[in-house]
Amino acid sequence: MKVTVVSRSGREVVKGGIDLKDSAKVADLQEAIHARTKKYYPSRQRLTLPLQPGKGGKPVVLSPKASLSEYCEKGSGSLTVVFKDLGPQVYYSTLFFFEYLGPLIIYPMFYYLPVYKFFGYEGERVIHPVQTYAMYYWCFHYFKRIMETFFVHRFSHATSPLSNVFRNCAYYWTFGAYIAYYCNHPLYTPVSDLQMKIGFGFGILCQIANFYCHILLRNLRNPSGSGGYQIPRGFLFNIVTCANYTTEIYQWIGFNIATQTVAGYIFLVVAASIMTNWALGKHSRLKKASLFDGKDGRPKYPRRWVIFPPFL
Amino acid sequence: MAGVGSAVRRLYLSVYNWVVFFGWAQVLYYAVLALRETGHEAVYAAVERPLQLAQTAAIMEILHGLVGLVRSPVSATLPQIGSRLFLTWGVLWSFPETQSHILVSSLVISWSITETIRYSFFGMKEAFGSAPSWLLWLRYSTFMLLYPTGITSEVGLIYIALPYMKASEKYCLRMPNKWNFSYDYYYSSLLALLIYVPGSPHMYRYMLSQRKKALSKAKAA
């Protein structure tokens, strides 16, 4: 079949179009476009069907595993696709690795190196036990995240735009430095021993719970990555849709109870609002998905908290 | 019922915009008067009250955007109002040593010309349904001169205030304290200055694109 590839402004991206076997898949089309254009490797391509003039709605995105013939107009042996360049892409694992590496390295720098001399604090620093435990807790947390990135998580999209690397690293690294500065400060005031134990103890429990949530989510996805939504089940997912975010937020609450810095609490609020945004999106996608509307014998998405019982 | 609601909204916004317009008109008048009769050192004292009132009233505009009374995105109004309040209260009012500087005159005149045009433009639209085309042109053209003069004055005044901020330790919070928090006004102001570097071209470009949209829409109409 003949495939015409145009940009959103109507210009032909691949002159003369591409000829493919009738049985070809979208992935084959992507390879062919890459071969002809050199610059646009498949993960950079976003291919959609042209929008009918007058009709609104979102354009249909071509799924790489589908057959091209599924998208053809009935009867014709040809297809027109609209091409959008998503810009340079990085693997999600690459993105996560760098954004988590920053906090993992920066925080211990404030703990071990004589950083505070540059802020005008001369002389010896007395290190309180809570500050040492906080450093271990923090580093374990980000080490866990990196391990999960490579060994646990299964990503729905393989890549993310390169610009996200700068944005996300700025977020994690800046907050990491901001919190590390106060937690390791020479004039740091520790909380009571009991409060510290409660904070870290609760935090560790939540990290374990969070890890288990990640394992459950992983098992929802087929290893070949055939995608599609599943209703999460088991453990805390029976009560709350995004139990993984819930446990992550609670884990930071634990850290803050133990270390008590305004910087830490600011980070908690910002992180929680970002995750709440994601959770609201995920919750409504799962409820609306034609898979879970309860009609025609399909399962209905159960009533659950979104992220933060009993509030949301 | 919807009719009553939108009539109330129009009435409220008309009153709001014309009242604040009047405040800024006063600022402009007193500033020019003081410049001519005395000199630039006297400008601040002459405009202080109407300036503080008119500028602080602008906080209402954030609320208007949040509750959906007006269409302006909060993301555009917040930095603008933030920098204005910072200059009005955080620099000029807090550090009297800056008040006699000539940049106060350029600041106050840039702001008041811009704001009298802006508020009368919105006041006309809310009260009469539309604004005259010459006012539309002024609203979307004078910024090309007044943004640079205003921003230069803002940056200059913050810079001049820096040594006084450092010496006075005003608005600073020091460690140790039980919340393990500190705040340094001098360094925050330095950070604000840094933000002007990417922030100003961004705002200018935004206004240029708004100008294109508004003036071409007027032409087509």
Q: Rounded to whole angstroms, how far apart are CA atoms B221 and B216?
A: 9
Kindly indicate the confidence band of residue B84, based on its pLDDT and cuts at 50, 70 and 90: very high
User: In a 3-state reduction of DSSP, which class is residue A219?
Assistant: helix
Tokens of B121: 């433009």
Inform me whether the pLDDT recorded for B181 exceeds 90. yes
**CB contact A128 to B (< 8 Å):** no
Rounded to an integer, the average pLDDT of A140-144 is 96
Rounded to an integer, the average pLDDT of A78-87 is 87
Nearest residue in B to A121, CA atom: B175
**CB contact A259 to B (< 8 Å):** yes
The residue ranking higher by pLDDT, A1 or B161, is B161
pLDDT of residue A293: 62
pLDDT of residue B72: 80
Q: Is the CB of A187 less than 8 angstroms away from the CB of B175? A: yes
- Which residue shows structure tokens 């595993």? A65
Tokens of B30: 């007193």
Least confident of A104-108, A243-247, A250-254, B214-218: B214-218
Query: Cβ contacts (< 8 Å) between A188 and chain B: which residues?
Result: 175-176, 180
Rounded to an integer, the average pLDDT of A72-98 is 86
Rounded to an integer, the average pLDDT of A24-41 is 87
Active-site residue, B154 included:
yes
pLDDT of residue B201: 93
Query: Cβ contacts (< 8 Å) between B176 and chain A: which residues?
Result: 187-189
Inform me whether the pLDDT recorded for A311 exceeds 80. no
Inform me whether the pLDDT recorded for B8 exceeds 60. yes
**CB contact A211 to B (< 8 Å):** no
Nearest residue in A to B176, CA atom: A187
Q: Rounded to whole angstroms, how far apart are CA atoms A185 and A121?
A: 9
Q: How close B79 gets to chain A, by Cα (Å)?
A: 19
Inform me whether the pLDDT recorded for A167 exceeds 70. yes
Span B52-79, pLDDT tens digits: 999 999 999 988 988 888 888 887 788 8
The residue ranking higher by pLDDT, A206 or B73, is A206
Active-site annotation holder among B44, B140, B154, B185: B154
pLDDT of residue A181: 96
Report the candidate in A110, A277, A258, A253 with the shortest Cα–Cα distance to residue A181.
A110
Distance between alpha carbon B59 and the CA centroid of its chain, in Å? 10
pLDDT of residue B90: 96
Q: Is the CB of A189 less than 8 angstroms away from the CB of B181? A: no
pLDDT of residue B117: 96
**CB contact A182 to B (< 8 Å):** yes
The residue ranking higher by pLDDT, A296 or A260, is A260
For A170, list phi and psi in degrees, rounded to 5: -60, -45
Q: Rounded to whole angstroms, how far apart are CA atoms A69 and A22?
A: 7
Inform me whether the pLDDT recorded for A226 exceeds 60. no
Span B128-173, pLDDT tens digits: 988 999 999 999 999 999 999 999 999 999 999 999 999 999 999 9
**CB contact A179 to B (< 8 Å):** no
DSSP per-residue string spanning A128-145: PHHHHHHHHHHHHHHHHH
pLDDT of residue B1: 55
pLDDT of residue A255: 97
Rounded to an integer, the average pLDDT of B197-218 is 89
Inform me whether the pLDDT recorded for A74 exceeds 80. no
Span B86-98, pLDDT tens digits: 999 999 999 999 9
User: Residue A162, exposed/middle/buried by CB under 10 A (0-12, 13-18, 19+)?
Assistant: middle
- Which residue shows structure tokens 């708004």? B210
Inform me whether the pLDDT recorded for A300 exceeds 70. no
pLDDT of residue A187: 93
B19 CB-near residues (< 8 Å, 6+ apart): B57
Kindly indicate the confidence band of residue A51, based on its pLDDT and cuts at 50, 70 and 90: confident
Kindly indicate the confidence band of residue B122, based on its pLDDT and cuts at 50, 70 and 90: very high
Mean pLDDT of chain A: 86
Mean pLDDT of chain B: 92
Rounded to an integer, the average pLDDT of A289-310 is 66
- Its ipTM equals 0.77
Active-site residue, B204 included:
no
pLDDT of residue A219: 85
DSSP per-residue string spanning A146-205: HHHHHHT---SSSEEETHHHHHHHHHHHHHHHHHHHHHT-TT-----HHHHHHHHHHHHH
Rounded to an integer, the average pLDDT of B212-220 is 84
Kindly indicate the confidence band of residue A210, based on its pLDDT and cuts at 50, 70 and 90: very high
Inform me whether the pLDDT recorded for A295 exceeds 90. no
Active-site annotation holder among B29, B41, B48, B147: B147
Q: Is the CB of A182 less than 8 angstroms away from the CB of B180? A: yes
Name the percent of chain A lying above pLDDT 70. 90
